[in-house]
Chains A and B, each alone.
Chain A
């Protein structure tokens, strides 16, 4: 299970591109470690899954910036992030905080975890806004902006006579989504 730093760099590069193989490798390498950490500290298998995925997302966001310099073993980093995330979650649930037995060494990751939770909040707002948008706007927006389909396909799929019609509709939907999102944003920040 040892990985050297060149492997790790390649792995992170693949991760940044949302490459399935890289994700699988990371899963195989670290999942069991994180799972033991969670389960030995008052967690369930579902908790382990959530925390691990959060951790990989943190890693993904870091990798995407391209300027990510890993100063320690990837394993240590993953462990640190998971640990921090789990402690935070326990704190939120106001559960009894276990004195996490530090078998592994950790590195400070507060900053990453903080910005991750900030981003998560924003994504949740977007999700909520999309939910409030209703059909067919939601599917239209998702098809174009999320699945990045091209306008002609979308027009065919949604039964618009031509791409221009679909485009107009899409912009109208987008304007509404923007309104909903910013309303949500204001709500959360007040």
Chain B
């Protein structure tokens, strides 16, 4: 057993961390958060693409650099730590994965290279508003190769070039690839809890689309894509949770009250120890998920759900208790605490809530039990 990343993967992680520390300190997400005219940090995105990060796990034959998912995982953790305001997750974890999972070889050859290079921004649209989306309640509908309906919130939907849409198709659901420059597509930004990552409401009015995968197989492909994306989102959440812990430790050491650093009080110590415990549990589950993702293991659905649940819990706890550790200053706009607090909820809901993933986890265990 060697339950650790390789030296090369660790080096990539360090390199990514150093790059993001220089190129994406918290002034960058704050700038995007505060500037309504800047949906994402274009300068940073250009550098991320110049580093070939979007194509890291995409096979070479489809324009990527064909490393692997462990490499993508270490990059994801660092993107999460930096709360990077770029369309990385929607392009890489969602759009590219959907095409890899559902697309024909021709579609992969045609659609993936521009996502791998970052020339195109991709995204994935499932939600249609408040409430859990199901096959039964989907309103977006495919009919005769045309898509109609409204999706929101679509991550990076205001800036994306390509969108994979889950739509009702007869009794089931299908996946459709949509060129967002097509006629009949209208879109507008929607305000969300985390404006450092833009989201949109996209309306499709009889838009001509192509299917991704077999008709009626859309929900199953979506599930497979989400299992894979869950590990990658969890890695981002883990990075964010660790950033919060480090921020809280730094503050607790330097802030004095009652004549001593607040970090010497057990009330604070135990809070931060609990953060550490949750983060370590998340890290262990994430690493296992990373392994399952990188090897396409049969354990992936359960491992991914466990990583997702643990990392959602860890980031939520760390981001809220980081504010609490800071006290009043933590509640101010000028403190960076809220950047993480916002991102933690955004990521927690981006591919389904904690409750949904817990249910997927137990369903996976039931299937394993039955097998």
Report if A and B associate in a common complex. Answer: no
